[in-house]
């Protein structure tokens, strides 16, 4: 898991170096939503599994999302747009928090939050489909690899359940998908 965290941080450095120098334009709303959602996910997943080792990568993801959101805000000088869909996605995550707090059922909070997490990728998918150069391939591929390591570590642990794999698999799929979509040629490059 420590290797996965180190890999995560390396990809974070690559991605945010590109943000700072203006090499790509990330979707602010996706990253802002990730900051909220990954916090809820790491907390509910910790309550669910009871193992810190299982959530180290998720905590690192929360840290990375929050720092990236801040860097995007700085680069865009606070001029960001949040649309109605983004607010609805954030509401789903807040609903997961409420259910988690009221019922003290981390599984319910975690699974509902995974829906919110998947929906938070919508601005990122729109961004990469609009122009593949908006999302660099290398960091997304590295993040997907880190989640793959997370899955392997779960597999070699002596006690895991099928449900332990749900979050890392969902995370892996979305990160890998963005990496693959960013490989497309942009419209300007095809003309």
State how far the Cα of 160 lies from the Cα of 163, in Å rounded to an integer: 8
Q: What is the mean pLDDT of residues 69-88?
A: 83
pLDDT at 190 over 50: no
pLDDT at 60 over 60: yes
How does DSSP assign the chain, residue by residue?
-HHHHHHHHHHHHHHHHHHHTTS----HHHHHHHHHHHHHHHHHHHHHH--HHHHHHHHHHHHHHHHHHHHHHHHTTT-----HHHHHHHHHHHHHHHHHHHH--HHHHHHHHHHHHHHHHHHHHHHHHH-GGGS-HHHHHHHHHHHHHHHHHHHHSSS--GGGGHHHHHHHHHHHHHHHHTTSPPHHHH-
Confidence band, pLDDT 50/70/90 cuts, at residue 183: very high
pLDDT at residue number 180 = 96
- Structural domain spans, the chain: 2-185
Pick the range with the lowest mean pLDDT from 26-40, 92-106, 115-129, 174-188.
92-106
Nearest CA to 36 out of 62, 71, 67, 68 is that of 62
R_g (Cα) of the chain, nearest Å: 16
Give the residue carrying structure tokens 């905590």.
Answer: 59
pLDDT at residue number 79 = 78
Q: Confirm whether pTM is higher than 0.85.
A: no
């Amino acid at each position: 898991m420590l290797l996965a965290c180190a890999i995560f941080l390396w990809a974070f450095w690559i991605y945010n170096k590109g943000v700072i120098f203006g090499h790509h334009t990330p979707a602010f709303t996706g990253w802002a939503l990730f900051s909220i959602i990954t916090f809820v996910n790491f907390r509910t997943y910790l309550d669910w599994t009871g193992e810190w080792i299982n959530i180290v990568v998720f905590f690192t993801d929360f840290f990375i999302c929050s720092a990236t959101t801040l860097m995007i805000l700085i680069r865009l000088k606070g001029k960001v747009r949040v649309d109605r869909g983004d607010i609805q996605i954030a509401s789903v995550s807040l609903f997961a928090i409420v259910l988690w707090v009221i019922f003290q059922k981390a599984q319910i909070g975690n699974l509902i939050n995974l829906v919110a997490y998947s929906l938070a990728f919508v601005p990122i998918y729109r961004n990469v489909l609009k122009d593949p150069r908006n999302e660099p391939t290398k960091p997304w591929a590295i993040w997907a690899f880190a989640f793959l390591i997370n899955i392997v570590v779960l597999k070699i642990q002596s006690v895991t359940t099928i449900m332990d794999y749900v979050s890392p698999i969902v995370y892996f799929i979305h990160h890998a998908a963005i990496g693959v979509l960013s490989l497309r040629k942009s419209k300007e490059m095809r003309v």
